Amino acid sequence: MNNLDNPTIFLREDYLAPNFAIDQVYLEFSLNPNKTIVKSTLHMRRLGPGSLVLKGEELELISIAVNQEDYRDFEVNSKELTVHHLPEVFDLEINCSNQPNINSSLMGLYVSNDNFFTQCEAEGFRKITYFLDQPDVLTKFTVKLNASKVDYPVLLSNGNLIEEGELNNGWHFAVWEDPFPKPSYLFALVAGKLEVLERQYITNSGSKKLLQIWVEKKDLSRTKHAMESLIHSIEWDEKRFGLELDLERFMIVAVGDFNMGAMENKGLNIFNTKYVLADQHTATDIDFANIESVVGHEYFHNWTGNRVTCRDWFQLSLKEGLTVFRDQEFSADLMGSDSGRTVKRIEDVRLLRQVQFPEDAGPMAHPIRPDSYQEINNFYTVTVYEKGAEVVRMLHTLLGETGFMKGMKLYFARHDGQAVTCDDFLACMADANQFDAKQFQYWYSQAGTPQVSIKEQYNEVAKTYTLQISQTCPPTPNQSVKAPFHIPLKTKLLVPGQASDEFLIELKETEQQVVLKNIQTKPILSINRDFSAPVILNFDQPENELLFLFDQDDNAFNRWEAIQKIASNNILNNIAPSDPLIEGYRKLMLDPTLDPAFKELCFTLPAETYLHEQLETVDPQIVHHAKVHYQNVLGVRLINEWENLYEANLIASPYSPNAVDAGKRALKNFALKMLLDSNLAKFEAIAFEQLKNCDNMTDFLAALTLLVHYESSFAAEALNLFYQRHQGNDLALDKWFAIQASKPPKQSGKIVQDIRKLKLHSDFKMRNPNRVRSVIHTFCMNNPAGFHDASGEGYEFWYDNVLELDGINPQVAARLARALDRWKKFDAPYQAIMHSQLEKLLTNPLSNDVKEVIQKALN
């Protein structure tokens, strides 16, 4: 284990290629939850001088042999096995054991509900056996699984099933072979009592493929949507990117205990049940959409991540940023319309602004390709994923669809079967298009969110319109000075009654002037359309111009952007909506040409966490109450329209999660929220009736959330009804817990005591990441008004739970630890208490995962 007082810092510049190659690995598992024996036979070649250093953690070494002879020239400790004086070519046989039953970290081989599962990314394989587990060690795996047939009738691993049979004493075996070389982080095995949903799929080239989704028997009926999503993903990747499924079969397995959303292990994707199981009575429209997106994401990794993988973990965004871009495009294409694509784009940008922008401005800020890390698990971040996707999207904007696809084709032609870098990807885009990417590469190497400032001037005599554009990027840890970024800004000048074309401004300098001629009247500027660059735009447009953009802009994203800017400015200045703004909202309500989903997004006010980022110092209670007041005014002044909107979007047809119906439900339930906000006593009965009579979880959960959050007289009965209906369904109960943990404080004051009671509930499970996230993370990270109570009780709750979780699952604990990493942003009373809790936490023995977060927050 690393010395926690002087932790190892890994530097990108220190990368060394491995001094040994593993041409083939044969693994044999004797699966026992208390003690699993792993025999590995590695066919190896020397590539350079020195001893062979294999990583291994929480393992018991049994024996070592070289070329079938017992070997003693080695050293072993809690982190490494070092073997000396090895020949040029040899077979290394290692026997070791691990204890899956007590592996609460859920990394490596572990047991969940009496079944075996693995999670190897990033460094979990070293908890299975000793190995060169860096991602640039690619080898072909053959795996034999031995287990009790009664207890573990299903035995799965990567690739193709080549043999299975019976053993003595009621055991059986299965042998799996993966024909494609892969790094160990893509290894997977699953063993247990599972049922399967199967489909046959024929690719464009005529190849037959077997698609399988494996789940516990009780969950089999809820796998249809995941299977449909997998088929849509395969079809889309063939059509859009020309990429075909390359194995005989593709398998998905769902497990309830999982740190992540899912994992793209070659041909055997292991998923959190949250992103597989769905039906109308247990999953919301958002759940259905998320399943489609995550299934797509993991399948798309088959090429962008598996066939072409990362040379080292500093290159994580090579696969994740690119694959997030692909899954965003997949979901947008499946929306089926231009307005549907805009809805998807807005949802992606909201996540970026609410989570990634604060990360960019905080102590954990890092480039999408970091220069260093202490604990790699802490770099599975929205910066690597979502900002990484925005960087790929900017390349798409600059090169166009044709140019971008030329770059992708060159990328696969040049690097298929290799472990490469972000620079290699960017070089393919540049070489395929004669594109100078020298300045663009700063998006990979520099942290922080660029701020673009705009000043406009219209010369009525000369008929010129001048934009003075400048860019800056604030200092971030270890990067005080930044070079100018290459920033693509989609732009259009709008003049009432006149047509104009969109054009692209490529901002490359610190300051840049754009002069447009023959502009007959002063235009209204629509810039950064579709959020073409992930920047903060500083441009003081008056409300009347923003209202014009909201009403007239032909770019739907910028219509939404305009109303969000107005709402943000008003809330932060505690200004009630103006009469023209109320009329703008009313016109939006009545416009029959707009999708309900788009309307709902326009009505939804900016998140409090996003509003916090607009301020120098934050009093979270002031922001919360200003937003509540603003929303209440909208509710009261448009109450008749909200009633009409609720009635107009009721759906009489049977439930379907399609985009159109989902949009209607979202708008209807938002209208219901505004009705309760304006007059709880009058409208709470409508919400309770919806809850009792609806045929789907979306409407049920929306009504329940409103009744609980507005402290309705029906709240207790509604909560009990939900619990009785879904008792025993873990995913549904996660929702039940989360509704209560996200309840903002009302007249009853502090809610920390309520959160502590939730932890004592018989269905709360501290070892289950989903349940922990539904209660503890929801309260600490998604309930700012409740968490940031001036008494500091929320911070004390945070301290207790980070410490407790760190002893169980450091990854989950580290994500919770980040709830206080922006402590310097807050006003004095909050800041002082947060600081004291951070310092107190640091006095305890902590994992590397948590300690890195706390140390960076304090520094």
Distance of alpha carbon 211 from alpha carbon 268, whole angstroms: 10
Indicate whether 5 pLDDT > 70. no
* β-bridge pairing 536-538 and 503-507: unpaired
Q: What is the pLDDT of residue 2?
A: 37
Q: What is the pLDDT of residue 497?
A: 84
As a whole number, mean pLDDT of residues 548-559 equals 97
Indicate whether 746 pLDDT > 70. yes
By three-state DSSP, how is residue 790 classified? coil
Q: Are 620 and 571 in contact (CB under 8 A)?
A: no
Q: What is the pLDDT of residue 748?
A: 52
Indicate whether 128 pLDDT > 50. yes
CATH 1.10.390.10 in the chain is located at 308-536
As a whole number, mean pLDDT of residues 56-64 equals 98
Q: What is the pLDDT of residue 1?
A: 33
As a whole number, mean pLDDT of residues 554-579 equals 97
As a whole number, mean pLDDT of residues 627-656 equals 97
Residue range 664-720, pLDDT digits in tens: 999 999 999 999 999 999 999 999 999 999 999 999 999 999 999 999 999 999 999
The arrangement of secondary structure in 308-536, i.e. its CATH architecture, is Orthogonal Bundle (1.10)
Number of Cβ within 10 Å of residue 829's Cβ equals: 12
As a whole number, mean pLDDT of residues 141-161 equals 98
Distance of alpha carbon 572 from alpha carbon 612, whole angstroms: 9
Q: What is the pLDDT of residue 427?
A: 98
Q: What is the pLDDT of residue 207?
A: 97
Residue range 312-337, pLDDT digits in tens: 999 999 999 999 999 999 999 999 88
Distance of alpha carbon 327 from alpha carbon 314, whole angstroms: 22
C-alpha to C-alpha distances, 207 to 175, 200, 201, nearest whole angstrom:
23, 10, 8
Q: Which fold has domain 10-193?
A: Immunoglobulin-like (2.60.40)
Q: What is the pLDDT of residue 749?
A: 64
Indicate whether 52 pLDDT > 60. yes
Window from 112-121, 181-190, 493-502 with minimum mean pLDDT: 493-502
What are the residue numbers of the active site? 298
Residue 393, amino acid: R
Distance of alpha carbon 709 from alpha carbon 745, whole angstroms: 8
Indicate whether 488 pLDDT > 60. yes
As a whole number, mean pLDDT of residues 823-839 equals 97
CATH 2.60.40.1730 in the chain is located at 10-193
Q: What is the pLDDT of residue 730?
A: 98
What burial letters (b/e) apply to 773-792, b meaning 16+ CB within 10 Å?
A: bbbbbbbbbbbbbbbbbeeb
Quote the DSSP letter at residue 48: S
Residue range 434-447, pLDDT digits in tens: 999 999 999 999 99
Averaged confidence pLDDT in the chain: 97
Indicate whether 201 pLDDT > 90. yes
Indicate whether 45 pLDDT > 50. yes
Indicate whether 498 pLDDT > 90. no
Q: What is the pLDDT of residue 4?
A: 45
As a whole number, mean pLDDT of residues 192-214 equals 98
Indicate whether 856 pLDDT > 90. yes
Outline where DSSP puts E strands in 12-68. 20-30, 36-46, 52-55, 60-66
Length of the chain equals 859
List Cβ<8 Å contacts ≥24 apart for 754-759. 755/779, 755/786, 755/797, 756/797
Q: What percent of the chain has pLDDT over 90?
A: 98
Indicate whether 3 pLDDT > 70. no
Distance of alpha carbon 413 from alpha carbon 424, whole angstroms: 12
The token pair that represents 834 in the structure block: 């947060």
Residue range 456-479, pLDDT digits in tens: 999 999 999 999 999 999 999 999
Given pLDDT bands bounded at 50, 70 and 90, which one contains residue 747? low
Q: Is 309 left (phi over 0), alpha (psi -120 to 50) or beta?
A: beta
Outline where DSSP puts E strands in 501-611. 503-507, 511-516, 524-527, 536-538
